A and B are shown apart, each in its own frame.
Chain A
């Protein structure tokens, strides 16, 4: 979709799009799905994931012109999304709803489905047992491929704490898997 068409479509909601607005639109279009994936893995709830990402992106838009650039921008974005995810988790009522079937991993189609399902189940189960901070560190490390420095910036913790979260999660997974053998 060209810029001209986009500007026409938005005219009813806002004034003519500024360069900042354009860059924000491009940013959302290119990154929103990835943020939804991240939020899903951290919050483990579809509605919460969507709420968290929408809130985070809306907050970013409110400050868009003032945000830092380069690596600081990425750090700021991840920090905002992570904070939003952890925020929705904190606001949950104590009693959680019954697990939604669509939230459970389905059997894959393909070679060796039993083994693939077992591995995926183990990871899903493990991540559910982790604290939100630990789960976030694991997701950022193994799904988003962030460095420990970037994870620490997103979580607002020390790099050593980020390493510790991931390290302990790996150990816990191993203990979980080996305990079943």
Chain B
């Protein structure tokens, strides 16, 4: 979590706050004084004068009901692959370092072109909401499944990959594709002159890690239907395509699990379906079974100012299928992993762990958690100071020479979390710590297991958790464990931004498996 530069950011921000000019105090009475209707707070409508959204002023619009959050929707279950037979974990490792990836020069592939103004779509009443596209440019790239039109003075940009950036991000050798970061591929469209400020219309390919379809968009209203644009919303071959829609949602927030509330302008706008699919795909045939990465989202969020709404809606409704789209780019490696991900580790962390010599290791005691851990000599231990108001931090870091961090946290809640195991997000249980059990949040005594997950769009991770048996469903585990101390404890990888070395990964596993209760 806290390598040197993250620590610098944290300290630098705190120093900046310490030195900020006085901003006075906020008087609640002033905030509660009656306000005129001409002086509406930003982003919210007053209860007395609710401001109807654009959709409600337009005939034919209907409500779309938001449904439960992704976690609840993920009760539609997946089989949990790869659970190993329990086995004890022995003690220590060995070291290798993977070779650095070769840098690859990027090749720009996006070239805007101009096209004649499209014919009006039959059956779509958008006359009040769209503008003329005469003179507009067209975005078209074989890396993206759709084309769209945009005003000639709007600025199109995409994340540029360079060899240096790819190397810094530990990408696989062929990981450089313009527009694609480790979390996917995206193109940004902005109004003129605002630079990075203001409205962003973002086209993003979403299916690289299988989350493109997790849960509908909550709290969105249907603004218009595009009957001439059919989209796919599932890899299920029995599901028929549906008409695309333009949806809108209050940018001020939304309530999950119930009907959307009128929280007032400004609004976000997105291409979706009447059933609020968060990601869609286009094509004469459903591409999703073979190429889940053909799914995409296309939306303007952050709140679109009223003077840009018509332009944004026009952009969204100008979408067409791109016949030149090549879903195989960015490429995948032999195991099917996207090549722009972080480099995978050479082996699981328990490979070679038998050879680790921990005889010279120091013992770290964490009395609040009633545990101790063994720490290799070149790793550094630091404990974050408590806040100025006395709030305890409960954070200890064990930092490898590369900066990779194992965190020991006594500031969390002992409760189960469940996640769907997707094609890309595959945690692996390596075994249990012999002689050690712990009561889970339900009071059931369980083994303490070592888990790991190879690098994907995030670095490789290891952690300890107790796991609740599931019946071919979600993976439910609890990584904050009660060992009989004052507080339950998380021991595992922190939010690192880089992979460990292979040797450090094995050492990290050895640190975790050295855990013992103090009493």
Contact = CB atoms under 8 A, between A and B. Distances in A.
A112 B15 CA distance: 14
B76 interface: no
B41 A62 contact: yes
Nearest to A106: B19
Interface string B133-159: 000000000000000000000000000
Interface stretch (B6-14, B108-116, B238-246): B6-14
A46 B47 contact: no
Contacts of A114: none
A10 B29 contact: yes
Contacts of A28: 26, 28, 31
Given A50-B23, A124-B16, A143-B14, A164 B251 contact: no
The binding surface of chain B is classed by DSSP as loop
B106 interface: no
Interface residues of A, number: 83
Given A62-B47, A173-B9, A90 B197 contact: yes
A124 B515 CA distance: 40
A41 B16 contact: yes
A89 B197 contact: yes
Contacts of B29: 9-10, 13-14
B195 interface: yes
Range of interface residues on B (Cβ < 8 Å): 35 or more
Contacts of A124: 12, 16
Interface in B1-46: 3, 5-6, 8-17, 19-21, 23-26, 28-33, 35, 41-46
B17 A24 contact: no
Interface string B475-498: 000000000000000000001010
Given A83-B251, A170-B5, A173-B5, A37 B20 contact: yes
A24 B29 CA distance: 10
A142 B41 contact: no
A61 B29 CA distance: 11
B198 interface: yes
Contacts of B45: 62
A160 B301 CA distance: 15
B26 A116 contact: no
Interface stretch (B253-261, B282-290, B313-321): B253-261
Interface string B176-213: 00000111100000000111111010001000000000
A87 B303 contact: yes
Nearest to B11: A119
B268 interface: yes
Nearest to B17: A37
B266 to A, nearest CB: 8
Contacts of B11: 119-120, 123
B26 A57 contact: yes
Contacts of A86: 197, 302-303
B263 interface: yes
**Most-contacted residue by chain B among A28, A40, A89, A116 (CB, 10 A):** A28
B434 interface: no
Nearest to B387: A145
A16 interface: no
B183 A161 contact: yes
A165 to B, nearest CB: 10
Interface string A102-142: 11011010000000100110111011000111100011001
**Most-contacted residue by chain B among A25, A62, A84, A102 (CB, 10 A):** A62
Q: Kindly list the 4 A-B residue pairs having the minimum CB-CB distance in the complex, ordered from nearest.
A: A123-B12, A59-B41, A131-B196, A160-B183
23 contacts: A24-B32, A41-B16, A46-B20, A46-B21, A46-B23, A54-B31, A55-B41, A62-B41, A72-B256, A79-B253, A87-B303, A94-B193, A105-B15, A123-B9, A127-B16, A133-B196, A133-B200, A142-B10, A143-B17, A158-B204, A160-B184, A171-B169, A173-B9
